Structure 1
Amino acid sequence: MRCLSLPLSCTVEQLYICLYKRGIPTVILDSGWEPRPDGRYPLSRRCIIASEPFAILKARGANAMLEWADGRCDIGTPFELLRTVMDTFSLPSDDAPTPFPAGAVGYFGYELKSILEPVESNLPADINMPDLWLALFDTAITVDLSEQMVHITSTGLPERGRARERRATERAEQLLDKISAVPQHSSFIPFADTTSESMKVHVSSNFSHTAYLDAVRRVKDYISAGDIYQANLSQRFKMSFRGDPFTLFLHLRQRSPAPFAAFIDGVKFHII
């Protein structure tokens, strides 16, 4: 593993802007809170950027594929392929300056439950996203807000032996060059016209007001009858959006900073 460290000479936001490339699978694990007056971060102190994975594990139902950056593709079931990945690419964590030197980042969807327990669902599959999406990164950039340092970690995966050492060095130096080129005074471009009619959005729910109240009454009846003791009654809100997801993430980071936030560019989808 190759590790490089340098002082943080710009804002985290500027680092995001210069390192993120649209259309390339990227994950940002962000800590947007400011420190306390004593300089300490009460909940979180690190921001992590990982991009250009060497493989991506995707699944829809019981069908999964492991797509490699070189074009190869392995087919199997979600947890079989996940076990193979974990057994093949596990890394020791005691020789890295950060808790996450590299690895898998993504999500496990609730729909994976049908693989573990055969429970039928009448819900329509109306969101065109994988049930499982994990990007396997061989590098990571970690910003330590407390120490005001940037740590580059490069593992050289998925290569082996000397080839892994060469790849680790090359990838680390590439990231160092990118970070060194980040201007110290830059800002992101806001939405083109935040006052225009096009920026006004309509938020809708899959429940009407009456239907939601009826559902609450049915849940209370089920509880009174002893059929259930708890129900998680939820509704989905949706809205149209025609802007840039990354710019939206930056605006949310400014307007509503959170100690633990994330941005995922899955190329065909985005998660904020």
Structure 2
Amino acid sequence: MGSSPFLEATAFPDHLELYWPNLSHRETIPLEKNHTLDFLNDCHNKYRVYQSPFPFSGGAVGFFSYDLKNELESLPDCTENDLNIPLWRFAWYDGIVVYSHVEQKYWLTSCGINEEGECSSKLAHSRLKQLELILQQVIQTPQTILETDSNLMTDSYSTIEPSVSKPQYLKDLERVIDYIYAGDIYQANLTQRFSMPWQGDVWNLYTQLHRQNPSPFAAFLPYPDFQILCSSPERFVRIQPSGQIETRPIKGTRPRGDSLIDDEIQADELLNSPKDRAELTMIIDLERNDLGRICQFGTVKVPDLIQLEKYPTVWHLASTITGQLIKDLKPSELIRAIFPGGSITGAPKIRALEIIEELELYRRGPYTGSIGYMGFDGAWDLNIVIRTIVMKDGIAYVNVGGGIVADSVPENEYDETLHKAKALFRVLKGRLDESQ
């Protein structure tokens, strides 16, 4: 948990919006096209602290939008930007509360770093006292769902509206398969968006989502202009201060069974599915190539080829790819080499991105981008933004999709997207009219 950032930065294609809370100063910086990441390079050099006692002791926390892809590659721009979500937004935190679920203990940490990148023990102690007061308030506040939040307590449901009709989505899936047989791609991740009106306490909604669908890479970003409620099971990239890098793509999905026997059948079917194993293997190869662009020669390995993973509503297949980074890489060089993640784009990545842009109606925004941190010590941990609700102007948006390969059956792929959205629809009290 972080509090009181000393710098906030929001990137749009042609400008940066900066805010220094402690100085009460705002600034807008015009940019040349495709240069927003230069600012992250500058901050990486300016705000550095070594030998952190925890995996994260402070640094930049925020998200990269999927639509950052247009800054990284020369791509068509066909989708509608109806939500106007930034390309990325990060805030630099020096005061961090660390909680160990194993030891059930809290630690407070601060580097005492200021806006100029200078550290002082006086500033560190001041921030620790502030964190202690905040932590006492959190501990003393009952962690219960507010009964006044009618959206969470009601038994009534609202209708969820799809961005495209089911027949049109099936046609789009067929179009992807046509591209595969034409030799353009091996795989593409096509998605659809759902929306519904929603009013209530967003933190309570996130708490319910986390209880019903606990995930290892969950995140809650309550910005004033929009909110991101993420229950992602997938890690995009983790970087250790030593330069060790890891990515962990997920592909292949089956719903959890209604009984123990049915659940085991679903898991066994997924683990032994030639289609799903091939789908994951394609992405493993793509991720190996991506890491090979930024890793020392011969260090890229696949320690876990294909593993079965269990989640509250679905089964998944996952793999782990690791490597040792080339020394002194800039953040922009890392991001340009690997973003967006291969599991939510396809292979080859650039052609898959072009086909996705052709067929999807709206910009994805945070969905299939990444949420996480870039620490003062060089440690990174970023997820893939899936199983996520984006709240903006009283509307809840949910995107879901899946990897399409040559032997995909469109009807089955459509059903898979609904399996993935099940926990999100349930917590939103939304129902899909499947006659649409």
Percent of residue pairs identical: 33
How big is the shift at 1:103?
A: 0.5
Query: Structure 2 regions of 5+ residues with no counterpart?
Result: 230-436
Q: 2:55 aligns with which of 74, 83, 99?
A: 99
Q: Pairwise mapping of residues 176-255 of structure 1 onto structure 2 (< 5 A)?
A: 176-183=132-139, 186-192=142-148, 193=150, 194=152, 196=154, 200-255=157-212
Whether 1:73 and 2:27 are equivalent positions in the alignment is: yes
Query: Structure 1 regions of 5+ residues with no counterpart?
Result: 1-48
Q: What is residue 83 of structure 1 aligned with on the other side?
A: 41
Following superposition, which runs of at least 4 residues in structure 1 exceed 6 angstroms of deviation?
Answer: 160-163
Whether 1:263 and 2:220 are equivalent positions in the alignment is: yes
Q: What is residue 29 of structure 1 aligned with on the other side?
A: none
Q: 2:105 aligns with which of 146, 149, 152?
A: 149
How big is the shift at 1:249?
A: 1.0
Q: Flag the 1:72–1:165 CA change in 2: closer, same or farther, 3 A.
A: farther
Q: What is residue 3 of structure 1 aligned with on the other side?
A: none
Q: What is residue 54 of structure 1 aligned with on the other side?
A: 6
Contact 2:48 2:117 in 1 (8 A): no
Q: What is residue 39 of structure 1 aligned with on the other side?
A: none
Q: Flag the 1:185–1:58 CA change in 2: closer, same or farther, 3 A.
A: closer
TM-align CA RMSD:
2.3
* SS of the residue 1:214 aligns to: helix
How big is the shift at 1:231?
A: 2.1
Q: TM-score normalised to the size of structure 1? A: 0.73
How big is the shift at 1:246?
A: 0.8
Q: What is residue 38 of structure 1 aligned with on the other side?
A: none
Higher helix fraction (1 or 2):
2
Contact 1:67 1:73 in 2 (8 A): yes
Aligned length: 221
CA–CA separation in structure 1 for the residues paired with 2:141 and 2:59: 32
Q: Flag the 1:161–1:101 CA change in 2: closer, same or farther, 3 A.
A: closer
Deviations 1:79-98 (A, max 9, x none): 11111111110111x2x431
Contact 1:156 1:167 in 2 (8 A): yes
Q: Flag the 1:139–1:64 CA change in 2: closer, same or farther, 3 A.
A: same
Q: Pairwise mapping of residues 121-132 of structure 1 onto structure 2 (< 5 A)?
A: 121-132=77-88
Q: TM-score normalised to the size of structure 2? A: 0.47
CA–CA separation in structure 1 for the residues paired with 2:207 and 2:117: 40
Higher strand fraction (1 or 2):
2
Contact 1:204 1:238 in 2 (8 A): yes
* SS of the residue 2:188 aligns to: coil
With a CA cutoff of 8 Å and minimum separation of 6, indicate the structure with the bigger relative contact order: 1
* SS of the residue 1:232 aligns to: strand
Deviations 1:142-186 (A, max 9, x none): 101112110111122225699732221111012113323555572
The letter of the residue matching 2:90 is: L
Whether 1:158 and 2:114 are equivalent positions in the alignment is: yes
